[in-house]
Amino acid sequence: MPRRRIGQEALHFPDSGCGRSSLDQLSGLIDWAPLEAILDDIYGASKGEAAWPPLALFKAMLLAVWYDLSDVKLSEALDDRASFRRFCGFSSQEATPERTAFVRLRKILAARSLDKALFDEVTCQLKAKAIRVKTGTLVDATIITAAREGDGDARWVKHKGRQAMHGFKAHVGADADTALVEEIAITPANVNDGKAGPEALPDNPGDVFADSAYRGDHFGNAVRAKGGTPRVVITHVWASAQDEQRALARMNTHNRAIHHV
């Protein structure tokens, strides 16, 4: 099973005068050897093609989570951004993977139950490098478009004012201070944010900030069970006609603090 060789220019890039990026520093904090060992026997290529190195693809998928990129946008960014190429191990001029390469790898990892294990390994390493007091967690979801409409695991979803999309939804829990993604859960795109939100909660999440899609007891109780405090946007209040203005003022004050984060 042949694999492509990448990085043949020894990752030499012209000096732009901007110095190394934060991704270069981040890459140096991670011991990639255990991850490469787990991925070693994975071959994710179409029949007759040489496969991309699985570690390079996995690094790219990390970028997609950290930068909230669809597979299409990830492919475009790899082709265009020098810092992304260096992080994944591609030289300045060589070709980079199409979106279908990420789809194939994601399916293989999910089938082997490796997706969360690999992600947790990276998260644990980064958390071990950062000695800090946790102040809060951000929880949100993003749509990942399916590579083809025939994908039986994907579902259609339609939000008001937006075009219908067929795919999956990534529910992400990130540290409120550093934006480091700590937990991630993947569901079909039609799964309600609040229903899947508990799967994106890290332990001891602190104040958990989320938009109104996460309102309700299901998510709120899950936050409290983890030792956190839900800070969720509210969209309406119940009040008598005499108290309506005061209730609206309290709602706006509550939401303003969350929107600021």
Residue 171 forms beta bridges with which residues?
A: 141, 185
Cα–Cα distance measured from residue 25 to residue 230, given in angstroms and rounded to the nearest whole number: 33
Better-predicted residue by pLDDT, 129 or 63: 63
Residue 18 has pLDDT above 60, yes or no: no
Q: Which residues, 6+ apart, have CB-to-CB distance to 58 below 8 Å?
A: 35, 39, 105, 109, 118
In this predicted structure, the answer to whether residue 46 has a pLDDT above a threshold of 70 is no
Amino acid letter, 223: V
pLDDT of residue 3: 62
pTM of the model: 0.58
Looking up tokens 């989570």 gives 65
The DSSP code sequence of the chain is --B----TTTT-----SS---HHHHHHHHS--HHHHHHHTT-----TTSPBPPHHHHHHHHHHHHHHT--HHHHHHHHHH-HHHHHHHT--SSS----HHHHHHHHHHHHHTT-HHHHHHHHHHHHHHH------EEEEEEEEEE-SSTT-TT-EEE--TTS--EEEEEEEEEEETTT--EEEEEEEETTS-HHHHGGGGPPSS--EEEE-GGG-SHHHHHHHHHTT-EEEE--------TTTHHHHHHHHHHHHHHHHH-
CA distance 28 to 25: 5
- Residues 141-188 have pLDDT tens digits of 988 888 777 888 889 998 777 888 889 999 999 888 777 788 889 999
- Phi, psi (deg, nearest 5) at residue 86: -60, -45
Sorting pLDDT into bands at 50, 70 and 90, what band is 20?
low
Query: Residue 73 and residue 50: Cα distance in Å, rounded?
Result: 23
Instruction: Determine the residue type at 61.
Output: M
pLDDT digits (tens, 9 = 90+) for 55-85: 999 999 999 888 878 888 999 999 888 899 9
Q: Is 201 left (phi over 0), alpha (psi -120 to 50) or beta?
A: beta
pLDDT of residue 12: 46
Q: What is the mean pLDDT of residues 34-45?
A: 84
Assign domain 132-260 to its CATH architecture: 2-Layer Sandwich (3.30)
Q: What is the pLDDT of residue 208?
A: 94
- Whether residue 113 has pLDDT greater than 50: yes
Side chain identity at 79, as an amino acid letter?
A: D
Structural tokens at position 140: 């949100």
Question: In this model, does residue 8 exceed pLDDT 60?
Answer: no
Cα–Cα distance between 22 and 245 in angstroms, integer?
A: 47
Give 179 or 118, the one with higher predicted confidence.
118
User: Where do the structural domains in the chain lie, given as residue ranges?
Assistant: 22-122, 132-260
Give the percent of the chain with pLDDT over 90. Answer: 31
Q: What is the pLDDT of residues 181-223, one digit of tens each?
A: 888 899 999 999 999 999 999 888 989 999 999 999 999 999 9
